[in-house]
Amino acid sequence: MKLIILGPPGSGKGTIAGRLEKEFKFKQISAGELLREEVAKGTTIGKDIQKIMEKGGLVPNNLVNEIVRLEIQGKKHYILDGFPRTLEQAKSINDLPITKVLYAEVPLKVVVERLSGRRVCAKGIHNYHLKYIPPRKAGVCDVDKTPLRRRKDDAPLSVQRRFQVYQKQTLPVIRYYKRKRILVTVDARGEPHRVYQLVKKALHLHG
């Protein structure tokens, strides 16, 4: 399986990819996470990336393409989470035999609610939602026991910008895959378990 998951910020791409990885062992490759790892290294390029991400813009195509390519190397089953987000990125992976592109569709109202309640662990890896996916102990990550925090780009102004960027740059990518007839759309407004069941059904996955 070589899957792409696309959708607006906060649509649940990471949550869906994480569940598929856990159940089916497809490797989740999150562009946002790879970029946050680059930022954590504190290099000059990492600092430039950080400024772009905090404002809710897109990191330059050549850089993201290179980082994602490196991560894909040698893997047979993977899920690209949040990549490609521009037509240029999409065309850069035209050589890959992508099985399906999953579009997690949610309206802006849902995005705002999900991102305002999102909390992540100190390492930025594990995701929770105060109301929908709470940790077992308030304020603490179930997995690595670090304190939970809010992502900087989940501030209202950044969310608004991310949604605008998504509409301008990523909706054309969704239309591109629709024309290629490999797009499957899932209504991702429901609660996490329900959405996950819809995803498995849409992808003909049993488990």
Interface residue with ligand AP5, options 3, 14, 26, 92 (CB under 6 A): 14
Nearest to ligand AP5 of 132, 176 (CB atom): 132
The least CB distance from residue 130 to ligand AP5, in Å, is: 8
The least CB distance from residue 178 to ligand AP5, in Å, is: 19
| 134 is a site residue for ligand AP5 (CB under 6 A) | no
Number of C-beta neighbours around residue 137 at 10 A: 10
Please, which of residues 59-118 interact with ligand AP5 by CB under 6 A? Answer: 59, 64, 82-85, 89, 114, 117-118
Q: Residue with CB nearest ligand AP5?
A: 32
DSSP letters along 6-37, please? Answer: E-STTSSHHHHHHHHHHHH-PEEEEHHHHHHH
Q: Segment near ligand AP5 (CB under 6 A), from 52-60, 94-102, 134-142, 198-206? A: 52-60
Please, which of residues 141-200 interact with ligand AP5 by CB under 6 A? Answer: 153, 162, 191-192, 195
| 10 is a site residue for ligand AP5 (CB under 6 A) | yes
171 to each of 137, 148, 153, how far by Cα in Å? 38, 32, 20
**For residue 69, what are the contacts with CB-CB under 8 A and spacing of at least 6?**
none
Beta strands in the chain (DSSP E): 2-6, 27-30, 78-81, 100-105, 118-120, 127-129, 183-187
